[in-house]
Amino acid sequence: MASEKNLAMMDPEKHIATASNPSLEFEVGEVTAVEQNAQDHAPHQLQRNFKARHVQMIGLAGCIGSGVFISTGEALQTGGALGLLIAYPLICSMALSMLTVLSEATCLFPTTGSFIDHASRFVDPALGFAIGFCEWFGAITVVAAEGSVFPVVISYWTTSVSDAGLMTIYLVVVFAFHVMPNRWFAEFEFYSGIVKLTLMVVVMLTMVAICAGAGNGDEYIGQNYNTLKVFPNGFKGIARCFLLASWATGGQEIMGVVAGEAAFPRWDLPRARVNLFIRILVIYLSAAVFISVLIPYTEPLLLSTSNLASSPFVIAMNYAGIRVLPDIVNVVLLICLCGIGSEELFVASRVQVAMADMGMMPALFKKIDSKGRPWASLLCCSIIAIAFTYMCLSTTGAIAFNWFSSISATTTFFAWMIIPVTNWCMHRALRAQGDTAWSEPYAYKSWLWPAIPIYLFVTTVFTFVCTFWVAVDPIGGADSSGLAADFFEIMLCFPLFVFAYIAYKLFYRTKFQNPRTADLVTGRRRLTKENIEFLDTYGASPWYSKVLSYVRFG
C-alpha cells in the first residue's frame, strides 16, 4: 500500500494526517445525529440510501433548468455580452468556493439541516432560523417559478391548452416522485440528469458548429460587437447580471441537504465538487460565451412575455435554420423544469424537518413514515407551492418568473454569506476544544483555507450590495409609485431575513455560541473501518482508474 504522503499526492480530494486517530476509541460506525440516533434504515427516520451515483449526478446535472436556458437571455439583454462574461465567471467561482467550504462542515456533520444546523450550533440559533426560513421559503418559490415557465414552454408549440391545466400537469409530476420512497426521487434525478447532460453536450456542439459557419445565416458571426455599445446599461446592467447568474448557477447548497441522506458523504461530496467544476466549465461558462457571440443583446425575443420559452439557444438555432433541435431543446427543458421543481420540494421538506428537529418549527413536521418520507412536511410544502404556482395565473408568466426567481436568488446570497461565517466559527470551536477532526484519517479540509471562505464572503457581499443598489435605483429609473414594487421584486427576501432573525433573537433571547461549548457531537459521522479501507484502495489505485470512477459514477 502506498504511503499516506503518496496517497495525498495522488488524490487531491483527500487531506491525510499522520497523527494517531483518537476517534478509534468510538465504536466503528457510531452515528449520533438527531435524525439518526438508530440505524441508517431505521423505521420513521430519514434514510441514508442515496448512492454515490445519485449524489454525483445531482452535483453534475442538478440545477440545470430555466436559469440556464432562459435567464441567460435576460442577462445578455441587460448587461450586454461583456456584462454576461463578467457576471457568470464571478458567480460560478463563488458557487465552486461555496461547495468547497460547505463540504468541510458537511463531511464532519452530514445532517439533514446542513448549513442551517451548522449556523445554529456554531454561530447563533437565531441566524440558523433566519436562513432556514428563507431557504425553505425560497425553495418553495422555485417550485412556483419553474411552474410559471411550464405553460410558456408549451406555448412554443400550441396555445390551445389552458395555463391552469399545464401547471396542474407540472405539479402532478413534481409531487409524484415524493409520494414514493425517496430512492425514486434519486433515480429520477439520476436519469433526468443523464438526459440533461446529453442535451447540453449536443447544444454546445451545435453552438460550435454555428459559430464555425453552419446553418443558413448570411451575416458575420459576432458582428454585433462592432455596432452595439459594450455595456447597454452601464455597471447597473452588470449588477443585474449578478442576480440572474446567481439564479442560473445557485442552489448548489442542495448538496449539503442531500448529504444528510447519503450513505457515504466523505466520498460523495468531494466528488460532487469536482462534478460542479465540470458543469461550470462545460455548461455555464460555455453557454455564456456562445450566447454572447451568436445573439445581439437587442434581440427582441430574448425576454418578451409571449416568447419566454424561446431561449437564447433556440433563437440561435432558428436563425441558423436548424428546425428540429429547438423542439428537442424545449422537450428537455420541460424535463428540467420538473426536475428542478422536484429538487426544490425535496430541499424545502428536508429543511422543514431539520428545523422541526431543532425546535424551530412545530414538532408535527418532523414526523416521518416507515419509508423515510416526511409526510407532514411534504404536505405543507406542497400546499404552499400549489398556491404560489396558481398565483402566476393572475399575472403574466414573465412577471411571476421574475418575482419568484429573484426571491430564490437573493436567498442564495444570504446562504453564501453565512456558510463561510459558519465555517470560521466551526474551525474556532474545533481549536478551542482541542478536537482532532483534521488529524483523523481522510479528514476533508480545504487546501486553501482560510483563503476560500474569505474570498466567498467578500465576493458575496460585493455582489449583494450591487444587487441591492439596482433594487433601490433600478435600470431606467422608476417613479415613486413603482419604486417599492421594483425594490421588493428583487429584495423581498432581505426584509424577511432581517425580520426572522430579529424576531427569533428577541423572542428566545438567543446568544452567540461559545466556541468552548459548541456542540461537536450531535450528527457527527466518523468513518467506519470499511470506509477507510475503501479510501485506502482508491488512493492506491492508478490515475486512470480514478478518472474512470467519475465516468461510471462508482
Hey, what's the cell of 361? Answer: 418549527
Q: What is the pLDDT of residue 445?
A: 83
d(CA 76, CA 240): 10
Cα 32 to Cα 520: distance, rounded to the nearest angstrom: 11
Directed axis angle between helix 265-279 and helix 72-108, to 10°?
A: 160
Alpha-helix runs per DSSP H in 303-450: 312-319, 325-357, 375-391, 397-432
Query: 309 φ, ψ to 5°?
Result: -75, -15
Give the residue carrying C-alpha cell 481549536.
431
Contact residues for 286 (Cβ-Cβ < 8 A; gap 6+): 204, 207
**Inter-residue contact 163 to 151 (CB < 8 Å):** yes
232, 96 contact by CB (below 8 A):
no
Give me the helix-helix angle, 529-540 and 265-279, nearest 10°: 40
* Side-chain half-sphere exposure of 210, counting CA atoms within 13 A: 28
Classify residue 280 by its DSSP letter: I
The type of residue at 214 is A
Report pLDDT for 16.
34
Cell reading at 473: 435605483
| Cell numbers given for 506 | 428577541
Cβ-contact 277, 96 below 8 angstroms: yes
The CATH class for the domain spanning 43-512 reads mainly alpha
Rounded Cα distance, 347 and 172, in Å: 18
**Global confidence as pTM:** 0.81
**89, 96, 116, 326, 416 from 463: Cα distances, Å:** 13, 16, 22, 33, 11
Identify whether the C-beta of residue 88 lies closer than 8 Å to the C-beta of residue 329: no
Amino acid letter at 246? S
Q: How high is the pLDDT of residue 45?
A: 58
Nearest to 132 by CA among 143, 120, 144: 120
Closest of 468, 82, 105, 57 to residue 90, by C-alpha: 82
Q: Is the distance from CB of 467 to CB of 490 less than 8 angstroms?
A: yes
Show the low-confidence residues of the chain (pLDDT under 50): 1-44, 306, 309, 554
Residue spans per domain, the chain: 43-512
Whether the link from the prior residue into 300 is cis, omega within 30° of 0, is no
Given this model, what pLDDT does residue 46 score?
A: 62
Q: What is the CA radius of gyration of the chain?
A: 23
Per DSSP, 199 falls in state H
What's the pLDDT at 145?
A: 82
In this predicted structure, what is the pLDDT of residue 126? 94
Q: How far is CA 79 from CA 42, 54, 479, 485, in A?
A: 52, 36, 22, 22
Contact between 45 and 368 (Cβ < 8 Å): yes
Q: How far apart are CA 81 and CA 121, in angstroms?
A: 43
Joined together, the cell numbers standing for residue 512 give 452567540
